[in-house]
Amino acid sequence: MTLTRRTFVGAAGGTVMLAGLPKVRAADETPRRGGVLRAATSEEPFAPAFDVHKVDSLLTTRIGYLAYNGLVNVNERREIEPDLAESWEQPDALTYIFKLRKGVLFHDGTEFDADAVKFNLERIINPETASPKRADFAVIKTIDVVDKYTVKLHLDHPFAPLLGYMRRSYFGIMSPKAITEQMGQDPLKRSIGTGPFKFVSYTRGDKVILERFDKYFGTPAWLDGIEIRIMPEQSTQFAALQTGSLDYMIQTSPSFAEQMKYNPDLQVLSAPSTIWDFLAFNVMRAPFTDKRVRQAFSMALDREAMAKGVYRGYAKAAQGALSSGFSPYFRDNGDIPFQTYDPDRAKALLKEADFPFQSELRFDTFTERPWGQIGDAIADQISALGVKLRIEKPDFNTFAQYFYGTKEYWFGNSSMTGGGADPDELMYKQFVTGEVYNINNYTNPEVDKLLKDARTENDVEKRVDLYNKANRMLMEECCVAFLVYPDLVEGMRANVHGYRFRDESAGTFDECWLS
């Protein structure tokens, strides 16, 4: 699970759209080495250490993806493929055996081996690390180093999502030497992986610089390096992209993507995602203790208008926590009325619930696009019911501290995704009682049982049924109002080649080149 302003894999690898007369790469044009890709983000990373064991944010993970590897990786079709593990086998439901690549080096020159895997897993599982990912690995009962390049894991109980959690964009393997020796010193110096790029510097409020790691075990990156600039305003980024002083916009707002389509020097990459934008209700606070109030607020929201207006068509109206980007788990649940636009029924439900129209409710959103625009639309549509609102709209990092951290809110909007290869990441920690990302304080023993059973069931069709039953209950209970499934949208110069989305926290910058 990833928490960010847009917290983003194309079912078919994404579509590049060039408007006007597109500059199409000639068939005989081949990748060339050299150059520094200048990318921009409007979000400050949760750094200075890009410690993906301790941080679960999209941007930090996405930058870490450049420097780290996992035991496995996920391709653009959500299929598990080898990474630092050349192969693996599961002789029974409680055992995994990973055969590791030989000759792999960390950026500090130390060798990657089975001891490094054991060290990293034990670090995440150790409660003192306070990893937000600990619950996903706590099922591991023992970690045996069979030999230098073989690791055997024994599980406490069957756990179907395990391989997905071993992926590069989630389980980034870091140098044990760097973590042990640099823990109390320069934090950036412990951000040492085996990936195609290595960290050079990070200046808060300015930029992150990475350079190619020439001893990478895979195909060396074409780029000499990547410079990720921190530019809070996407309008500033867009202006720089147009003039050529910037090559790439991370998480491009759809409003700017729409403009890019008409500039032959620019291109837009888009793909379906597993993101769900949502309106969360704190079910421990009145009036949201009453399910009818939550259902009414949900039915007051015009999801189609949000998808077309705010997202410029780069989104679809949501039906629960699993989008069509997560085939085969998606099921059409359009028969459930509480996620559809019906303001008349919404007003009737509020009247039935004896809603306190004289009271003022606090609504929380945040400034960054497009989520702040979604917040504006929500505020307008809820106000149209006769509800009095006091709107709080800080920057995302301030919003996240109390919305995701202390949970001091009544209701507010954001986005959620797990990405990866398993729906467990989109539902378990978000809706099981007491789990880390259950920001609604929601509890339902039946939902808990369904999602726990799905974790231990290996049969795909049975898992589909379990997730769909839980999904339908969540749509009816309305602990969140599922809003839209936004596409992944990113803009770049026409001379940027080779980029593809993988999972929501990852892309192929290591395969990019500049013409």
Q: pLDDT at residue 1 above 50? A: no
**pLDDT at site 17:** 39
* Listed residue (224, 215, 120) closest to 174, CA to CA: 120
400, two tokens: 């996240």
Residues 405, 398 contacting (CB under 8 angstroms):
no
List, for residues 154-167, the tens digit of each pLDDT value. 999 999 999 989 99
- State residue 184's pLDDT score: 62
pLDDT in tens, 98-145: 999 999 999 999 999 999 999 999 999 999 988 888 988 999 999 999
**CA 96 from centroid of its chain's CA atoms:** 26
pLDDT at 507 (0 to 100) = 75
For the stretch 197-242, pLDDT in tens is: 999 998 888 999 999 999 999 999 999 999 999 998 889 999 999 9
Crossing angle between the packed helical segments 424-431 and 460-477, to the nearest 10 degrees: 40
Parse the chain into domains and list their residue ranges. 276-486
Looking at mean pLDDT, say which of 348-362, 413-427, 498-512 comes out highest: 348-362
pLDDT of 2 higher than 80 = no
Average pLDDT over all residues of the chain: 88
Note the pLDDT of residue 20: 32
Task: Report pLDDT for 21.
Answer: 31
Q: Is 488 left (phi over 0), alpha (psi -120 to 50) or beta?
A: beta
pLDDT one-digit tens code per residue, 235-279? 999 999 999 999 999 888 888 888 888 899 999 988 888 889 999
Q: Identify the residue with better confidence: 10 or 447.
A: 447
CB 458 within 8 A of CB 160: yes
Q: Which residue has the higher pLDDT, 7 or 390?
A: 390
Q: Which fold is adopted by the domain 276-486?
A: Dipeptide-binding Protein; domain 3 (3.10.105)
Cα distances (angstroms) measured from residue 359 to each of 202, 286, 287, 296, 362: 47, 11, 10, 17, 10
Q: What is the dihedral of CA 436, 437, 443, 444, to 10 degrees?
A: -110
- Give pLDDT, residue 271: 82
CA distance 283 to 47: 32
- Over residues 329-337, mean pLDDT: 89
- 3-36 pLDDT, tens digit each: 333 332 233 334 443 333 333 344 447 899 999 9
What's 193's DSSP letter?
Answer: -
Model confidence band, residue 64 (pLDDT cutoffs 50, 70, 90): confident
| CB 502 within 8 Å of CB 169 | yes
- The phi-psi region of residue 216 (left if phi > 0; otherwise alpha if psi is between -120 and 50; otherwise beta) is beta
Task: List 152's β-bridge partners, or say none.
Answer: 97, 144
**Residues 238/490, Cβ–Cβ less than 8 Å:** no
CA distance 250 to 241: 12
What pLDDT does 252 receive?
83
Tokens of 320: 């629960």
- CA nearest neighbour of 86 among 76, 95, 97, 75: 97
Residue 56 has pLDDT above 80, yes or no: no
What helix, strand, coil percent values describe the chain, rounded to 5?
Answer: 30, 25, 45
211 pairs with which residues across the strands? 198, 225
Query: Can you tell me the distance from the alpha carbon of 484 to that of 482, in angstroms, rounded to the nearest whole number?
Result: 7
Tokens of 95: 């055992």
* Overall pTM surpassing 0.85 (yes/no): no
The amino acid occupying position 30 is T
Beta strands in 320-437 (DSSP E): 360-364, 388-392, 411-416
The region, left, alpha or beta by phi > 0 then psi within -120 to 50, assigned to residue 305 is: alpha
83: tokens are 């990474």
Of 191, 271, 219, which Cα lies nearest the Cα of 17? 271
Please tell me what DSSP assigns to residue 221. P
Query: Is 48's pLDDT higher than 70?
Result: no
183 confidence band (pLDDT: 50, 70, 90): low
pLDDT in tens, 336-375: 999 899 999 999 999 999 999 999 999 999 998 788 999 9
Closest CA to 64 of 72, 77, 55: 55
CB 186 within 8 A of CB 119: no
Q: Which pLDDT does position 213 carry in this prediction?
A: 97
pLDDT at 117: 98
Q: What percent of the chain has pLDDT over 90?
A: 63
Q: pLDDT: is 251 or 505 the higher one?
A: 251
- Pick from 490, 474, 473: which is nearest to 482 by CA? 474
Sheet order of strands, 480-482 included: 388-392, 360-364, 411-416, 276-281, 480-482
CB contact at 8 A, 296 and 347: yes
202-231 burial, b at 16+ Cβ within 10 Å, e below that, comes to beeeebbbbbbbeebbeeebbbebbbbbbb
Separation CA 68–CA 168 (nearest Å): 7
Q: Report cis status (omega within 30 of 0) of the bond before 486.
A: no
